[in-house]
Structure 1
Amino acid sequence: MSIAKKEKAASTILLGRPKGTLKMGLVGLPNVGKSTTFNFLSKLSVPAENYPFCTLEPNLARISVPDEHFDNLCRIYQPKSQVSATLSIMDIAGLVKGAHKGEGLGNSFLSHIQQVDGIFHVVRAFDEDNIVHSEGAVNPVNDLQIIYDELRLKDLDRCQKLYDDMKKLVDRGQNKNLAGPFEMLQTFLNHLKSGNWISNRTNWSLKEVEALNDYCFLTAKPVIYLVNMNIKDYLRKKNKYLVKIHEWVEKNMRGPIIPYSADYEKTLIEDPASLQEHVSAVQKIILTGYSTLQLIHFYTTGKDEVKCWTIREGTKAPQAAGVIHTDMEKGFICAEVTKYDDLIELGSEQAVKNAGKVATKGRDYIVQNRDIMFFKFNPAKNKK
């Protein structure tokens, strides 16, 4: 990458909260397999019964992120403690048509979606007479559109209220500094009125992204589509609904699509011997969620502990140090950075140092995925 491109990447502001402690939420209509999916992802026992609104309060789990690089570091150091990266996933109860107006338990459920940073949208792509469908019949494209519309309409209502309140101030001339924010809010409102999600547009200006991050609109969140099929379709990699689902996503959202079978994953955990093929989608789901939130991690290593620390892409060294402890960010001096590939190739920390491949980085260094970091800082002075 050229210097100019690096500087441009460094100046980019990501849509969403600028933190590493981000969450994905499982969202969908009732009875599409969200709670069953949450169960096998987290291996926690939460209700997954066959009736709408079984999940009334959101369940939250922190799930280990598969990482062969972390495993290799643990083999090298043989530490007393091993702490992998995690992805937090919240199971949110089913939405129904009219949720933005309070239908079902809509207002409560939408407030839960407000708490997450990305969405696993679970869509049902199997027919089963014994499992009722809230819309009367299985129609994945219709289900996708319902969730799409409900979240957009909720944002539209909120954006309209923000716009109306700000317009009163602008019309009165009470605050001349509102001209810019008011114009941006009008842009957001028109975008939502035209039937789009905030995340549909990729060319928001940096100032617009900063404003959007303050508003935290539901439709600014990235979406991963989890297409829940029956075991037979999943194993043969064929499903009559997949083509139409792909067409809808390509036209409306362009998010990743992951076909899977909640029943297969559940059986794989409970009775793996009963399945002839072991083709789990769990790792792909977790890794896609992690990367979709634009999360990366760096390592701290030693005989006592090898640990992954999660940050967002573009995080600079002092802020990465602050993930470990706020005092390390406040008193940051520099960071000694070892590249993972160098350590694996040369075999030990000492060998990397002898080869002159430990780099000292300052405040402007943007931490890269899989960096091995050692921070130097001035300890905070105790106040008397």
Structure 2
Amino acid sequence: MEAGIVGLPNVGKSTLFNALTAAGIASENYPFCTIEPNVGAVAVPDPRLETIQSYIATQKVIPAVLKLVDIAGIVRGASEGEGLGNQFLSHIRNVDAITHVVRCFEDPDITHVEGSVDPIRDIETIDTELMLADLQSVESQVVKAKKTARTGDKEAARKLEILAACEQRLAAGEPVRGLSYDDPGAAKALRELQLLTSKRVLYIANIDEDDLAGTGEHVTRVRERAAAEGGEVVAVCARLESELAELDSEDRAEMLQSVGLEEPALAVLARAIYKLLGYQSYFTAGEKEVRAWPVAIGATAPQAAGVIHTDFERGFIRAEVYALDDLVEHKSEKAIRDAGKLRVEGKEYRMRDGDICHFLFNV
């Protein structure tokens, strides 16, 4: 799964993308960099890894990784092919969630494409273009579904009902992500429409260095907008984060202290994107490495094992699981086992965030 980073021109989108994928922000034991010109691998900082390593001696620590796509900037008329509109829309259709960078800083040296800074107007510009593109897609899919429905196809009939609900929302200026179904079949059919505004959104408020707490008027307006949508906001100063990403760990810590931050805002952002994609982490720990593995929230133990290797899922027998608190209390895996705190879980077990696991399999 991957998230796309979007925004109007000159909002700091590419600066943030480059900082997120810079090697300096990542673990020294794992190479993070740009995979393709617009695709990056991003570390998800997790202090639990260091805690595990303090009890289980290992050669390296590897955090979980997520993919981030820097999508071409959008301008008014993108849904009609203006600017790089077609490229923008095709790339955003392929990602699983959207991180929307919104300019919340004033700088006379950086021209805003609309002539002034207004984050809500900017959000509405991109939302409008996505909704217009979705309307075109819905109209096209309605024509095809009607032909199939005439044959008595029940799935096509249900699809028509869902398309009608989507069209009603879009015509009212509301994104499709506000539409939900309790019925798993209908929810699946909605996802299969691949509508742009059905994707989850995280707003990234690009703030000024004078407002690192993100309490300024522009950010406040974005927070209010996100709250009304049931979404979230992460405030980041792209300029500062870009500088931090280029420093070694010692200089970075000194600079963070000087500006009153405990960690780079990009660390907070990476974890927020991870959550946006519906991920949680479980850990494996041994002599070679302590590693965080991304797994979908609600995944079963065999599915989690399959993240490591498909053979682990195919031949899954059981999982041996314990919690980080158990490790802190008992100091070693052997002591956890001796205390009867090592749980044996089967195929139906739903993974919990922070589980430390050993998988047994046979193929």
TM-score range for the pair, normalised by the shorter chain length: 0.7 to 0.9
1:160 match: 139
For residues 7-46 of structure 1, the C-alpha deviation after alignment (integer angstroms, 9 at most, x for no partner) is xxxxxxxxxxxxxxx212211000100111112222269x
Partner Cα separation in structure 2 for residue 219 and residue 201 of structure 1: 10
CA contact (8 A) 1:294 1:312 kept: yes
**Could you tell me how far 1:274 is from its partner in structure 2?**
7.3
**Could you tell me how far 1:310 is from its partner in structure 2?**
0.6
TM value normalised by structure 2: 0.88
1:256 match: 232
Letter of the structure 1 residue corresponding to residue 156 of structure 2 = L
Partner Cα separation in structure 1 for residue 82 and residue 112 of structure 2: 16
Q: Of 272, 278, 294, which residue of structure 1 is paired with 2:278? A: 294
1:283 match: 267
TM value normalised by structure 1: 0.83
Residue 110 of structure 2 corresponds to residue 131 of structure 1:
yes
Partner Cα separation in structure 2 for residue 60 and residue 177 of structure 1: 36
The 5 Å alignment of 1:207-246 reads 207-234=185-212, 237-246=214-223
CA contact (8 A) 2:23 2:245 kept: no
Partner Cα separation in structure 2 for residue 255 and residue 227 of structure 1: 13
**Could you tell me how far 1:174 is from its partner in structure 2?**
5.6
Structure 2 stretches of 5 or more lacking a match? 25-35
Number of corresponding residues: 344
Partner Cα separation in structure 2 for residue 291 and residue 329 of structure 1: 24
2:320 match: 336
For residues 328-373 of structure 1, the C-alpha deviation after alignment (integer angstroms, 9 at most, x for no partner) is 1111122111222212211111111111121221111111111111
CA contact (8 A) 2:181 2:187 kept: no
For residues 272-296 of structure 1, the C-alpha deviation after alignment (integer angstroms, 9 at most, x for no partner) is 6778314231221111111122211
**Could you tell me how far 1:318 is from its partner in structure 2?**
1.1
Partner of 2:217: helix, strand, or coil?
A: coil
Partner Cα separation in structure 2 for residue 138 and residue 378 of structure 1: 59
Partner Cα separation in structure 2 for residue 234 and residue 168 of structure 1: 55
CA contact (8 A) 1:337 1:371 kept: yes
Distance 1:325 1:268, change over 3 A: closer
Distance 1:242 1:339, change over 3 A: closer
1:19 match: none
1:25 match: 4
After TM superposition, the structure 1 stretch with the greater mean CA deviation from structure 2, 214-223 or 174-183, is 174-183
Residue 182 of structure 2 corresponds to residue 198 of structure 1:
no
Partner of 2:341: helix, strand, or coil?
A: coil
Q: Identity of paired residues, percent?
A: 38
**Could you tell me how far 1:102 is from its partner in structure 2?**
0.8
Q: Of 33, 43, 57, which residue of structure 2 is paired with 1:78? A: 57
Distance 1:136 1:157, change over 3 A: same
Residue 295 of structure 2 corresponds to residue 311 of structure 1:
yes
CA contact (8 A) 2:98 2:202 kept: yes
Distance 1:204 1:150, change over 3 A: farther
**Could you tell me how far 1:104 is from its partner in structure 2?**
0.7
Residue 166 of structure 2 corresponds to residue 180 of structure 1:
no
**Could you tell me how far 1:59 is from its partner in structure 2?**
1.6
1:189 match: 167
Partner of 2:259: helix, strand, or coil?
A: coil
Partner of 1:183: helix, strand, or coil?
A: helix
The 5 Å alignment of 1:110-149 reads 110-149=89-128
Partner of 1:134: helix, strand, or coil?
A: coil
Structure 1 stretches of 5 or more lacking a match? 1-21, 46-56, 380-384
**Could you tell me how far 1:315 is from its partner in structure 2?**
0.3
For residues 81-136 of structure 1, the C-alpha deviation after alignment (integer angstroms, 9 at most, x for no partner) is 32211122221121111111111110111111122212211111222222122222
Partner of 2:212: helix, strand, or coil?
A: helix
